[in-house]
Every structure is written in structure tokens, then in C-alpha cells.
Amino acid sequence: MTTSSQDADRLTGQVSTSGAIATLAAGALMLTSALLTFLVGVFALAANDLVVSGPGYEYTFQLSGWGWANILTGMVLAAVAIALFLSAQWARAAAIIVTCLAIVVTFLWMPYYPAGSVVLIALDVVVIWGVATWNTSRKTA
């Protein structure tokens, strides 16, 4: 007969910390994404005349508009990341939804700052993966 680690924890009375670690990791990654998104917005506002979009781009706004969109997205990401740290019930679903929104905003920002956008999108995908796959059925410390 084989036993899972969850059954072994239940039999030995040990508390698993994997849920707490996953919560901290996802929250930390999301907070990092929020900080980077916020900084991209601040830099866009500061360098309004230094970056121009390529011709034929459908979603052309003034650079200050993109700056404000990134700042607001970063603030919302940070708020949900803090809720993840506090283990709020709604935080996991909100984290996935808000991070998907951040991916869309970052994708639309890509013509202005391609390297940074790719990094932010990759970080946001890792956040979604981390939040969506952590196991909440185990006891947390």
C-alpha cells in the first residue's frame, strides 16, 4: 500500500509548509511585477518625448497615457499581491484576473519598450502558473 505525502503528514501530525511557501512565492513575484510595471509607467511619464511608436500601430496613445495605464495596473497588482500575502479568500482568483489584465496592458505597451515588455509578460505568466497550481488542500503553517 502506498501513501501520499498528505496521508503521511496526517498520520504523523506534521504540518506542511508548502502552501505557505507557495503563497509567499506567488505574492513576491506578483509584487515584483507590480513594482516593475509601476516603474515602467513612471519612466513613460518622465520620458514623454524620448520614445515614439512605429508607424501603423493600431493602439497608439500618447506616451503619458500609457504611463498612467501602467501606473494604475502596477497599483492594482500590488494591492492583490498584498491580499495574497494575507491569504484572503478572493486573492487567488483576483490574482489570476488582474495578472491577465497586466499581460494585456504590457502586450499593448510592447512597441514602445519590447525587451521590458517580454520580461514582464514572462514574469506575469509565472505568477499565473504559481497561483493556479499551488495545492491548498494541505495544511499551512
Q: Identify the pLDDT of residue 132.
A: 87
Angle at 125 between CA 72 and CA 44, to 5 degrees: 35
- The domains of the chain are located at 18-46+61-133
pLDDT digits (tens, 9 = 90+) for 14-34: 444 556 677 788 889 999 999
- For residue 131, pLDDT over 70 is answered with yes
User: Which residues lie below 8 Å from residue 33, measured CB to CB, with a gap of 6+?
Assistant: 77, 99, 102, 120, 123, 124, 127
Amino acid sitting at position 4: S
- What confidence tier does 54 reach under pLDDT thresholds 50, 70, 90? low
- For residue 90, pLDDT over 80 is answered with yes
Element at 87 (helix H, strand E): none
Q: What is the DSSP letter of 8?
A: H
Residue with grid cell 509607467, as numbered in its chain: 41
